[in-house]
Amino acid sequence: MHDRYSAMVVALGAVALSFTLGALPGTAYATGKEHGSRSGETPLSREGYWPLEAAPGGVAPNVEPEGLPLLLNGDSWIYHNEDIWGDPALVDQGDLRLDGDGDWVATSTAPVGGDGSFTLAARARLAAADNRTQTVLSLPGSDADRLAIRYQAASGKWEVVVSTKDKANAPQVVITEEQALPDDGPYGVGDHLAVVFDAPAHELRFYVNGQLANTSTALDTTSWTASGGLQVGRSAHRGEYFEGTVDEVRAYSGVASSTMLTRMSGLTGDPDL
């Protein structure tokens, strides 16, 4: 038995650049609303935590009192399990369900701009790892995505894509999870996906299920500012609608530590992160 929260109410390719990849250990900071930082770095601050337990009136609230909510679009809806024998949600009692046919949720403006260090994370379960590239999270600019976390159909793996400029067909930085395949089992827990942009270190880090999957280091790690709201379940420029389940969406200004990312990947919501 479940409650269905109904919704109310954009697409470009690019050339991938090759960068040096290698796993580097995450740097631990303190935990809490605002976190400690290195010299020259902005303290880590949580801008958004969306547990996706409910969406009254088509609005999924942000745990941060002054934070932006997520607005449901298309046929997106929040599943809430109220039956001990029912289909379990990914985390806790509720999650976001998307059918891949024009559904998504989004904030009205960007919770993090991308012109400085940031961290984005979510748990996602594909309905099927098939021949469609599908975007879990993205931060759009005017003509390109600042960043997208997606399932790449060509490789059958999770990847992070960052456009080097806010221009259509701009070159991209691409980081791929080379080891584990996405969990698309109908009763599986999916995968926890997190991206850290460490501006002072000029590094992009991709974590899958709490483990550092890959790091991209380059002279220019594309610190232009996103201008659109956080998109969950699509790319505002390429479409790539996600079919499956999403839960535990988070956005931070600053660099989350490896310890924090391990905690985020747990199967119980943690409002203290």
Enter the tokens of residue 174. Answer: 């691409």
Helix, strand, coil fractions of the chain, as percent rounded to 5? 5, 40, 55
Structural domains of the chain sorted by starting position, each given as residue range(s) with its CATH number in brackets: 2-264 (2.60.120.200)
Stated pTM of the model: 0.85
Question: Residue 11's pLDDT band (boundaries 50, 70, 90)?
Answer: very low
Nearest to 203 by CA among 216, 194, 220, 193: 216
Convert the pLDDT of each residue in 73-101 to its tens digit: 999 999 998 887 788 999 999 999 999 99
pLDDT per residue as tens digits for the range 153-209:
999 999 999 998 999 999 998 999 988 899 999 989 999 999 999 988 888 999 999
How far apart, in whole angstroms, are the C-alpha atoms of residue 60 and residue 118? 22
State how far the alpha carbon of 11 is from the alpha carbons of 20, 81, 142, 175, in Å.
29, 34, 12, 21
| CA–CA separation, 64 and 84 (whole Å) | 30
3-state DSSP assignment of residue 194? strand
| CA dist list (Å): 40 to 201, 221, 250 | 11, 17, 24
